[in-house]
Structure 1
Amino acid sequence: MTEPVFIISTGRSGSTAVSNCIHLHPKLVSLSEMILSLHYNFGISGEEWKQFDNQTWTGSEFWELLAQKEPIRLAPYEKKGLYNKEVLYERTENTLFNEKTGLPAIASITLPHLTDEPDKLYRELEEVVPAFPQGSLPDQYRRLFEWMQQRFDGDTCVERSGFSTDAVEYLIDMFPNAKYVFLYRDPREIAVAFNRFQTMKMGKAILKAMEETGADPSDPSTEAEKLGFYQWLHPDYFELEQLHQMDIPYKELGSWISRSLLHAGRVIEGLPETQQHWLRYEDLLETPERELDRLITFINPPSASKETNEQWIKKGTGHIDPKPDTWPELPEEKRTVLEEAVGPALRYLDYE
């Protein structure tokens, strides 16, 4: 099969827009947020990637990984105004998954991004994947990618996950011959965007509450009185306005973004030139036709004609929505703290 392509980014860097463009190409299979949803473990001990290894996996074990479910705990918050556009799976009375069943990670974003019938696709995978022969985790992913390519009549899988900057070395270890697109943006704007990202702020607030109180405020069975100051995070007492007023400290946020970008960039720049492509988000906004042409030339789907690629570039250009930077509007004190925190990444990526 054709080697996969991985789009590496911190998130909040235009990666969703790029995934949507990739999805428009008839020979590219766009796997949105697959790796993140399956391997990123948010827990009280911190954030870490999990289950990247070369041990032998049966098809059934691999399916257990794909089908692992998380309780849908955002629903009560969404009813009180929390906006979570990341989750594409629409729960209804007739869907396969709901608040009682929990939602498999792969069904949250990846499958609805591919098709309007995610439940049908899930059932197909449920039949196929457990029959995969034994193999390493990379072997099983390759079988999955190949099946996806056949299912959607494509010839190249393109996976994109936010936060993948922190796991790029794991991906390269698993897929040493794959192609890697490093999608980056002015780190100051990434930080401001994260402080507008309600679900990330919720996650950070819940983790902080768990660390300080030992109780999970998102669990409806938690006694609200035990949460103290964090009672507002309990589903019965949730206050959206308090979430709006909360900022992730720019020193903390900027330092992480800077470290993450530097880490990913230095790992990717060590790859052969034929396996790395650097895509600056601001360039994509300014000259989308040129940047999409460079991107599809790099990906180079084997069975796509020149005409197909040109038509895709025109379609994709229409889906790029320029947005002005908002970080200059920060109060001077916050802007100074942020610029100092992201300084190493600003210099490394030539934003100064």
Structure 2
Amino acid sequence: MDERDEATLAPVFVVSTGRCGSTLLSAMMRKHPQLLSISEFFSYLGPGAVRAPRVSGEAAFRRLNTPAPGLRAFLESDVSISELIYPLDAGRRFSRQDVPPIMCTTLPHLTDDCEKLWDELGPELRSRERHRLTDHYRFVFEWLTRHFGRKLWVERSGGTLPMSPVLACYFPDARFVHIFRDGRDTALSMYNHPGFRAMAMTASAFDRVGLDPFSPKNWRGSSPWVHIVAAIHGRFIPPKRIMAANVDLATFGWLWSGMIKRGIEFLNTLPADQVLSIRFESLLESPQEEMTRFIEFVGPQLYDSRWLGEVSALPRSTKPRWPRLGSVNQRRLAEACAPGQQILGYNNEVVPHSQAG
């Protein structure tokens, strides 16, 4: 039993490839009375979100308050972003043209009165002196934790697995929860998602010109230069064109597998007590056991039987989608996913379509 006082609990990042059940985990964490569930903080900040230049509090505020051109383009189009929960078309303060990145999901995930919350947090952030941008982020996380009377913050943004080395560098006390899912179903979920279609197209382009798309130096959230490519990409390839582009399903399997390979390589370098792995399928099948593992990792002193019972009722078992593919598409997707599937211990078989159920 860990006897650490709550005040010394190290923060936690939930990292993943995205489209693998991490949103469910955020919903479960949100119900814990002592945890602050910070959801999709990095997802809307645009390229270079996890870089660490020294900036003023005012500059950090602008980063969280001003939508990047790519985000604005998606919001102004008819392309739906499923993770966005701010009611853009309900006559609230912010519109599709000016909604702050932190308002898209992070603050509405915490409270319905998210505008008032930003009104309170914003001046505190703006008054800060120059610090690394990531230190300003930590200030925001800790301010929110105190504001809501919680003991520990846990941040989760989809697609952050390749950024794990950078997160560990700038948050050296952090621990990591890695949630993952069968790569074939993850790839199928990525296929029609606007963000992951853009990600797959960019990663494929980098690969074709000899750049490692899975290196933190080239990854969208942590790269010092990808914002230049993103600006050009956004100018000439609008969201509707991204959704209409002919991107092969196997490309998403390749994307997933590359993210898994690179992310696991790094997580395996960390001490065992700094990393927890959660298989999404196990979370659906045995939610109480998996969430018990989760809370014992995060902080045994935060164990709450009432919370555990409540969140164990949230998961709904779903059948895998990949067996519904024809045998040719199954085989091509399985081949693309094979490296990641082997690392995670998944059976990568092909099932006759007639047996898909």
**So what's the TM-score if we normalise by structure 1?**
0.80
Question: Displacement of 1:349 after TM fit?
Answer: 0.5
Asked if the contact 1:32–1:109 (Cα under 8 Å) also holds between the matched residues in 2, the reply is yes
TM alignment of 1:285-304, pairs within 5 A = 285-300=284-299, 304=302
- CA distance in 1 between counterparts of 2:84 and 2:181 reads 23
Question: Displacement of 1:196 after TM fit?
Answer: 3.7
1:167 counterpart SS class: helix
Quick check: 1:107 aligned with 2:103? yes
Provide the residue aligned with 1:118 in structure 2: 114
TM alignment of 1:29-108, pairs within 5 A = 29-38=36-45, 40-41=46-47, 49-50=48-49, 52-53=51-52, 55-70=53-68, 72-74=72-74, 77-78=77-78, 82-92=79-89, 94-100=91-97, 102-108=98-104
Asked if the contact 1:15–1:183 (Cα under 8 Å) also holds between the matched residues in 2, the reply is yes
Amino acid at match of 2:250: K
Structure 1 residues 136-145 or 248-257, which shifts more?
Answer: 136-145
Provide the residue aligned with 1:224 in structure 2: none
Asked if the contact 2:42–2:49 (Cα under 8 Å) also holds between the matched residues in 1, the reply is no
Q: 1:152 to 1:212 in 2, by over 3 A?
A: closer
- CA distance in 2 between counterparts of 1:197 and 1:27 reads 32
Q: From 125, 130, 135, give the equivalent of 2:126.
A: 130
Structure 1 residues 13-22 or 83-92, which shifts more?
Answer: 83-92
Provide the residue aligned with 1:193 in structure 2: 189
Quick check: 1:335 aligned with 2:342? no
- CA distance in 2 between counterparts of 1:26 and 1:114 reads 12
Amino acid at match of 1:61: A
- CA distance in 2 between counterparts of 1:213 and 1:121 reads 31
Amino acid at match of 1:172: A
Q: From 157, 162, 172, give the equivalent of 1:166.
A: 162
Q: 1:204 to 1:255 in 2, by over 3 A?
A: closer
2:44 counterpart SS class: helix
Q: From 176, 180, 198, give the equivalent of 1:184.
A: 180
Q: 1:129 to 1:191 in 2, by over 3 A?
A: same
1:111 counterpart SS class: coil
- CA distance in 2 between counterparts of 1:59 and 1:77 reads 32
* Deviation string, structure 1 residues 43-64 (Cα, Å, up to 9, x no partner): xxxxxx45512x4222112212
- CA distance in 1 between counterparts of 2:238 and 2:103 reads 25
Question: Displacement of 1:197 after TM fit?
Answer: 2.8
Q: 1:266 to 1:206 in 2, by over 3 A?
A: closer
Question: Displacement of 1:272 after TM fit?
Answer: 1.0
- Alignment size in residue pairs: 312
Task: Show structure 2 runs of 5+ residues with no match.
Answer: 1-6, 206-230, 348-357
Provide the residue aligned with 2:218 in structure 1: none
* Deviation string, structure 1 residues 95-129 (Cα, Å, up to 9, x no partner): 221134x2211111111111111111111122111
RMSD, aligned CA? 2.8
- CA distance in 2 between counterparts of 1:87 and 1:197 reads 12
2:236 counterpart SS class: coil
Amino acid at match of 2:322: W
- CA distance in 2 between counterparts of 1:217 and 1:193 reads 21
Task: Show structure 1 runs of 5+ residues with no match.
Answer: 42-48, 219-232
* Deviation string, structure 1 residues 185-222 (Cα, Å, up to 9, x no partner): 111110111124356447868999x989973445xxxx
1:69 counterpart SS class: coil
- CA distance in 1 between counterparts of 2:259 and 2:330 reads 20
- CA distance in 1 between counterparts of 2:286 and 2:191 reads 27
Asked if the contact 2:184–2:337 (Cα under 8 Å) also holds between the matched residues in 1, the reply is yes
Asked if the contact 1:155–1:301 (Cα under 8 Å) also holds between the matched residues in 2, the reply is no
Q: Percent identity among equivalent residues? A: 28
1:112 counterpart SS class: coil
Q: 1:73 to 1:35 in 2, by over 3 A?
A: closer
2:109 counterpart SS class: helix
